[in-house]
Structure formats: C-alpha cells, structure tokens
C-alpha cells in the first residue's frame, strides 16, 4: 500500500503488481449502506501500532471499510486510525461500510495481499 498525505492517492498492490485504488474500492461500495458496527466486534482486527498524530486527526464522521468473507470480519481495509480513536474515546459504535470478499470484484486481490498492506490511509 502506498501511504500518502493525500488519502485519495491510497492504493494496494499485490505481488503481481496489480493495483487497486481507494477510488475503485469506494466505487464498489457506492450503493452499500453506512452501518453502525459495535467497536468491540472489530478490536481483534486493529493494527498493533498507529501513529498518534494520524489517530488524533482521524475524522470519525467518515465510515471505516471492513472486509468481510463468509459473514465474518476479516480486516480493516481503511480506517485503522479511526477505529483506534473510537476505542480510545470509549465509543461503542463506529460507522462502517462492508466490502464483501467475492470473486466479482477486486476485493479478492486486496485480501490476498500481506496483511500489513491492508491498513488504509485515514482522512
């Protein structure tokens, strides 16, 4: 994943060099509803470290993106800093969009990448 000061330049690249941009992911999620998720249902997915300054700047009004497969949450694709901020603030819910891992979209390519590449750049 490329981390940039400009979140709109975020992308994930697999071992073959195929890139998936945040814009492509957002397009796939265009018609998906924003739903409230229990923060406790996601804590096992958070990154072990987050940059404190990025966490403080994270805007909880933007939904995180959670990858789900077989009705189980697999990873936080975008929003690790927002999730950590919600945890630190004692929030019980966080707004999210669910990206279902299927062969019909690029999610499979994203999911196959090394998990350290699944941490999206927060807004």
Spell out the domain ranges in the chain. 7-118
Q: Topology of domain 7-118, per CATH?
A: 3.90.1530
What pTM, to 2 d.p., does this model score? 0.76
Which residues does 114 contact at the CB level (< 8 Å), separation at least 6? none
Question: Please, are residues 3 and 102 in contact by the beta-carbon 8 Å criterion?
Answer: no
Cα(7)–Cα(27) distance, rounded to whole angstroms? Answer: 15
What is the rounded distance in angstroms from the CA atom of residue 63 to the CA atom of residue 15?
Answer: 28
| Closest by CA position to 26, among listed 15, 34, 18, 38 | 34
Could you read off the pLDDT of 33-91 as tens digits, one per residue?
Answer: 999 999 999 998 987 777 888 899 999 999 999 999 888 999 898 999 999 999 999 99
In the chain, the N- to C-terminal Cα span, in Å, equals 15
């Amino acid at each position: 994943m490329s981390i940039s000061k400009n979140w709109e330049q975020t992308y994930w690249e697999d071992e073959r060099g195929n890139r998936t941009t945040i814009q492509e992911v957002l397009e796939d999620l265009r018609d998906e509803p924003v739903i409230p998720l229990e923060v406790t249902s996601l804590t096992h997915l958070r990154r072990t470290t987050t940059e404190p300054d990025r966490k403080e700047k994270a805007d909880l009004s933007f939904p995180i993106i959670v990858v789900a497969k077989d009705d189980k949450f697999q990873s936080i694709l975008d929003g690790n800093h927002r999730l950590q901020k919600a945890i630190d603030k004692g929030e019980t819910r966080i707004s999210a969009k669910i990206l279902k891992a299927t062969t019909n979209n690029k999610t499979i390519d994203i999911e196959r990448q090394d998990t350290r590449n699944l941490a999206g750049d927060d807004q």
